[in-house]
Every structure is written in C-alpha cells, then in structure tokens.
Chain A
Amino acid sequence: MMYEIIALYAVSFCLVVGAIFTLVGAIGLLKFNDSMTRLHAPTKVGTIGVGALLLASIIYNGVFKDGAIQEMLIMGFLFVTAPISAHFIAKVNLHRRDCDTAPDLPGDEQWATYDLPASDIDILEPKLETDSAPAGEPAR
C-alpha cells in the first residue's frame, strides 16, 4: 500500500516536471530573437520534458500494470535523434545565412556548409542576390 502511494507521488512529480520543462522550451522557442538562440530551447523539450513524461508512464505501468520497459525505447530514440536534428537545423541556419556571423575557423578551412560543389552553387544564388543580411554586417 505504502509502495503504491509513493509510486503515485513519483508519477505526479515526473508529470509536473515534464510539463514545466515543455513550457520552458515552448516559451524559449517563441520569445528568443535569433535563429541559433531559438535552437537552444526545444532541446529541453526533447530530453527532459518528454523524458520525464515517459518516466512517469514507466513508473505507473511498472507498479500498477505488468512490464513497462518498452517506453525506454522511445526515450533512447529521442535522446539519440534530438542532437542530430538540432545539428541539421543549425546547418540550415548557417547555410541560409539566417544567423549571426559564424566564427572563423583556424587556418584556411571554412565551414563545410559553405563548401558546395560547383554544380550546386545555384542553390545559394537567390539568397545572395536579395541581400537580406542585417545592417552593419559585412557582406560575405
């Protein structure tokens, strides 16, 4: 009996923590003012927010039902794929020149996103012609 009451409190705690972190991620996504800054916020949703909700489901199903380890699959999948999609979105931001200037790399190297093959250079052309870079930023 005592065991089940503790499990219910743990489930409630995990649900509230997950909801609060999801809210933090959504507020950050809505209120920040730069593309790369906005990229920070939803990673909290992906890891702690949904992770805590899944942990609540694991605890509840493990105590009151039989077996609950399958939710670990979703958790592991989300934890593995969230950085990959964030990396891809950051590359999109760099590629479209939507963010602040990327820092210079040592030596003569440049960011791999800008290193297009000659046949693909027309992808960049419309963006470069319209010149939507913010004022005061050097032309690249």
Chain B
Amino acid sequence: MTLATELMNWSITLAFVIVALCQVMSMVRLVIGPNTGDRILALDTMVINAIGLIVLLGLAQGIRIYFEVSLIIAMLGFVSTVAYARFVLRGDIIE
C-alpha cells in the first residue's frame, strides 16, 4: 500500500510539473505565434491545459468541488474560441 501511495504522489507531482511546463510552452506560442490562427489555437490549448491542472488539483487535495470549476472553464473556453474565430471570419460575432 505504501509503495502504491508513494507512486501516486510522485505521478501527481510529475503531472503537475509537465502540465505547467506545457502551459508555459503554449504561452510562448501565444506570444511569438506569427498568425491569428496560431494565437487562437494557443489560447484554446491553454484553456484545455488549465482544465487538466484543475483536475490534478482536485485529485491532489481530494476536494470534489473542482469538478464544477473545470466544467465551467471548459464551456467558457469553447465559447471564447468560437467567438474569436467568428470575429476573424466574419468581422462580427453575432450577425
């Protein structure tokens, strides 16, 4: 039991580090991205990575309320991605 618990603690730490690193790499692409589509894609990836970070936080702290936070962020991220893309495509969000 102790070995398995220790392994899970180590993998939670590893996942935290890697997902945070991915967040930083997506932010680099957001800053240097030459085109509009790259920036929208980087923002979308950052939202998805944030969902992963919040799920990991809920797993590490054992609190179930983080589920609702990540659900709301998922919906908000999708709507904002579509709104950005609509704005670039049509010059207007709601025609």
Residue B45 contacts which of A19, A29, A71, A81 (CB distance < 8 angstroms)? A29
C-alpha spacing A28/B11, complex, angstroms: 23
B30-50 vs A: 1/0 string, CB under 8 Å?
000011111011101100110
B7-32 vs A: 1/0 string, CB under 8 Å?
11011101100110111011011000
The minimal Cβ–Cβ distance linking B41 to chain A, given in whole angstroms, is 5
A2-37 vs B: 1/0 string, CB under 8 Å?
001100110110011011101101110110000100
Most central of B8, B12, B22, B91 by chain A CB within 10 Å: B22
C-alpha spacing A78/B44, complex, angstroms: 11
> Could you show 5 A-B contacts with beta carbons less than 8 Å apart?
A22-B18, A70-B67, A77-B74, A89-B85, A120-B91
Question: Are A45 and B11 in contact, with the CB atoms below 8 A?
Answer: no
The minimal Cβ–Cβ distance linking A39 to chain B, given in whole angstroms, is 6
C-alpha spacing A23/B90, complex, angstroms: 34
Q: With A19-B14, A74-B67 as given contacts, are A92 and B29 in contact (CB-CB < 8 Å)? A: no
**Chain A contacts to B: CB under 8 angstroms:** 1, 4-5, 8-9, 11-12, 15-16, 18-20, 22-23, 25-27, 29-30, 35, 38-39, 42, 45-46, 49-50, 53-54, 56-57, 60-61, 65, 70-71, 73-74, 77-78, 81-82, 84-85, 88-93, 95-96, 98, 113, 120, 123
Closest to B91 in A: A123
C-alpha spacing A38/B75, complex, angstroms: 23
Contacts of A61 in B (CB 8 A): 64
Question: Would you call B82 an interface residue if the criterion is a C-beta within 8 Å of the partner chain's C-beta atoms?
Answer: yes
Closest to A4 in B: B1
C-alpha spacing A113/B37, complex, angstroms: 14
Inter-chain pairs besides A8-B1, A77-B71, 10 sampled, C-beta below 8 Å: A5-B4, A29-B45, A30-B26, A42-B41, A42-B44, A45-B22, A73-B71, A89-B41, A90-B37, A92-B37
